[in-house]
Amino acid sequence: MDIWYAAYGSNMWAARLACYLAGGCPPGATRSYPGARDRTPPSGDRPVELHGCVYFAWHSPTWDGGIAFFDPAGPGASVGRAYRLTEAQLSDLVEQEMHRAPGADHDLTHLLAHGSTDVGDGRYESLHVVGELDGEPVVTFTSPEGVHAADHNEPSAAYLATMARGLVESHGWGPDRVATYLLDRPGIGSWDAAGIRALLGPEADAP
């Protein structure tokens, strides 16, 4: 069975997700990824809305700053990008997010039956079913902490630029709307609208 993986942070940019599937180092990151066992590109790709809160927390050595997490019980609404992957590709994605080599196959039976499961105690090992597309589950993974318990930390320019590009690419937003959305995320810190718009460059004109 295939599964829709809902990205809500840097993986919304297809070029960044491709590093988890085909291998490579995302622009601005300090880490290269081995890639999945199955390097086939996603068989589907759609913008999605998520009920819950995207926020920035932790300190990522890969990005030298906070990174995005999702609290499905948090306030408000968020957006993401759903990619249609195989179960094995999703398993390899989780493993690489946790700095482990791909190859472990996670049993998703409990997740699909109950809507959530933990495959470990790491920051991206709490899996949640967040919707359905074409009769197939939409799944994301995040920290078990939640937005209120998390140690918020503002993202670096490299990380936020990657996430901003993903919002433009998947939702067709212009810089102003991207900035408005990101500034409403807990943990955004000292960023302002001008700084976020600048990350997208002068060529990213608002539609």
Biggest alpha carbon–alpha carbon distance for the chain: 47
Query: Is the pLDDT assigned to residue 205 strictly greater than 60?
Result: no
Domain ranges of the chain: 2-200
Distance CA(91)–CA(78), nearest Å, equals 24
pLDDT band, very low/low/confident/very high, at 1 (cuts 50, 70, 90): confident
pLDDT tens-digit profile of 92-136? 999 999 989 999 999 999 999 999 999 988 889 999 999 999 999
Query: Is the pLDDT assigned to residue 168 strictly greater than 80?
Result: yes
Mean pLDDT of 21-32: 96
What pLDDT, on a 0 to 100 scale, did the predictor assign at position 121?
Answer: 86
Mean pLDDT of 73-86: 97
Distance CA(7)–CA(5), nearest Å, equals 6
Q: Domain 2-200 is of which CATH architecture?
A: Roll (3.10)
Q: pTM score, two decimals?
A: 0.95
Asked whether the beta carbons of 96 and 20 are under 8 A apart, the reply is yes
What pLDDT, on a 0 to 100 scale, did the predictor assign at position 206?
Answer: 45
What pLDDT, on a 0 to 100 scale, did the predictor assign at position 207?
Answer: 44
Q: Token match 């880490």: residue?
A: 31
Query: Is the pLDDT assigned to residue 204 strictly greater than 70?
Result: no
Mean pLDDT of 143-152: 95
